[in-house]
Structure 1
Amino acid sequence: MATKERVLKFTVMQHRNPNISEDEFHTYWTKKHAVLASIWLERNGILGYTQYHTPKATRDLAVGFADQIGWKLSTYDGHVEFIVRSVDDLSKAVQDPEYPEKIAPDEQYLLDPSTSMVTVGWEEVYILDGKLVSQGGAGTD
């Protein structure tokens, strides 16, 4: 029987480097950076890595709805999510020699880190695949 474990989800909201186009950002992030980062993250024990692409045309789909209920629409080009057992897992990963050699330069090309925002917490799922899961949640823990 599997043992449940509460894990942390780091979400980093990111703007692209203003020197590259939106199309270049999304293509490079998917085809180049994801491959490079996935290998490095897996080797360092990261449990999950997900990219969430939010091009302007897609964000604009929510303008009317956001205005209707008083939400401010995010301007981030994408979010990245890491699933880890502890903050130390990500800290260990960036201490890996591959981070300053390969990952950090790739991020500098791709991102504007001066505007990145991070959240950390855990996920609780109440509806999954259109169905009520449970009243107590069934998150990624």
Structure 2
Amino acid sequence: MKLSTFLATLPLAAAHSQSRRRCSKHHPDPEKCIFQPVCTVTTEEMFHIKQYYNRKPGMTPEEFNRYWAYEHAARSRPMHLRLGVFRYSQYHSTPEYRDLLRVDGVPPILEFDGAAEYWVPDLETFAAMGSDPEYLNNIQPDEANFIDLDSLRIIIGVDYILVENQNAVEEHGRTF
């Protein structure tokens, strides 16, 4: 299947699954959780840092995702809030998700199990995370419980947002 053919089928599937614009079936009470657009501060003027990595050898994708989402997040969230991280998100990718795009005409799929994404107002905030005593004594040692540290890759850049909350962005916080 060509990439263009595959992509053409996605809107039909998305329209069917998102027709009521509710939270996922995994939400504790999906019938009470209706999509609400939110007012956001632009992230264009911030640094956006991503760390890509794989799960620790011997760990299943399910074990990795569960541990990272619940155990590790509970350890790291207070530090992120205290240091002024604007946004921290986890990007979970399973072999099944990656297989969805393994079709003719699609470029190679990155083989990472996840990416941690940080939006910070300055690089000092990100540097402070790496030297924070809570990180050094509690969070960093915990990373060895679920991350293959040899697989770690990092990228840093800035966002140039074109669509946000289904609205075209016409004024930008950044120029190139």
- TM-score (normalizing by structure 2): 0.69
**Conservation of the 8 A alpha-carbon contact between 1:7 and 1:86:** yes
**1:46 Cα shift?**
1.3
**1:32 Cα shift?**
0.8
Separation in 2 of the partners of 1:14 and 1:43? 25
Q: Which runs of 5+ in 1 are unaligned?
A: none
Alignment of 1:56-135 (within 5 A): 56-64=95-103, 67-69=104-106, 71-134=107-170
Alignment correspondent of 2:47: 8
- Partner secondary structure for residue 125 of structure 1: coil
Structure showing greater relative contact order (alpha-carbon pairs closer than 8 Å, 6 or more residues apart): 1
Q: Which runs of 5+ in 2 are unaligned?
A: 1-40
**1:10 Cα shift?**
0.2
**Conservation of the 8 A alpha-carbon contact between 1:15 and 1:112:** yes
Of structures 1 and 2, the larger Rg is shown by 2
**1:131 Cα shift?**
3.9
| Aligned CA-pair RMSD | 2.0
- Deviating beyond 4 angstroms after TM superposition, the runs of 4 or more aligned structure 1 residues are 136-139
Q: Per residue, is there more helix in 1 or in 2?
A: 1
Alignment correspondent of 2:32: none
Residues 128 and 138 of structure 1: is their aligned pair in 2 closer, same or farther, counting only changes over 3 Å? farther
Separation in 1 of the partners of 2:113 and 2:100? 14
Separation in 2 of the partners of 1:88 and 1:50? 19
Deviation string 1:13-64 (CA, Å, 9 cap, x unpaired) is 1111113111100000111111211111111121110001101101111111
**Conservation of the 8 A alpha-carbon contact between 1:126 and 1:138:** no
- TM-score (normalizing by structure 1): 0.84
**1:113 Cα shift?**
1.6
Separation in 2 of the partners of 1:22 and 1:126? 33
Alignment correspondent of 1:55: 94
Report the count of equivalent residues: 133
Alignment correspondent of 1:31: 70
Separation in 2 of the partners of 1:61 and 1:125? 26
Are 1:46 and 2:85 counterparts?
Answer: yes
